[in-house]
Amino acid sequence: MNGKNNLSRLFYLFNILSLGFNLLKLILNTYTILLGRLGFGICCGVLNQCLTKFINDTVPFSVAQVYGQAVNVGITLGVTVIAFISTNIIPLEENGKAGLQADENWRIVFSYSIVINVISILLIAIKFQNPSLKDYLRDKSDEIAI
């Protein structure tokens, strides 16, 4: 079950790292926002690859494509929700950049990913308690797998 534990550790590590990068985006400084967005994007890429490996290990091959498509639909919906929130919460003001900074509504848009990140960490904590069927078969624990 070593492969499963490594995957679990990667999920935890990169979710916690992405949570840190999300918190970094809330500081009103161009460089910290850029660093936070870049780090969050890298963490999302690693987590997407880990999720693909997790799906291949746990989901039967006949339905694995459906799960893979569901992941990409979830990513698209997340981007759509952020676009909708940002267009409705952050109005274009006459004051320009100074008005937007004083408004502080931009923090709501950046906080959305923090909420999703915390939910993801909680779901990982619940899901990774049980090893997958492949782990049992790999460890020759056929009586448990059946």
- Write the pLDDT tens digit of every residue in 84-99: 877 776 666 656 666 6
Percentages helix, strand, coil for the chain (3-state, rounded to 5) are 80, 0, 20
Instruction: Give the residue, 11 or 34, on which the prediction is more confident.
Output: 34
Q: Is the pLDDT of residue 141 over 60?
A: no
Cβ-in-10-Å burial (0-12, 13-18, 19+) of 131 comes to: buried
Output the pTM of the full model. Answer: 0.71
Q: Is the pLDDT of residue 20 over 70?
A: yes
Instruction: Give the residue, 4 or 91, on which the prediction is more confident.
Output: 91
Total domains, the chain: 1
Task: Give the Cα separation of 12 and 102 in Å (integer).
Answer: 35
Q: Which domain holds residue 84?
A: 2-145
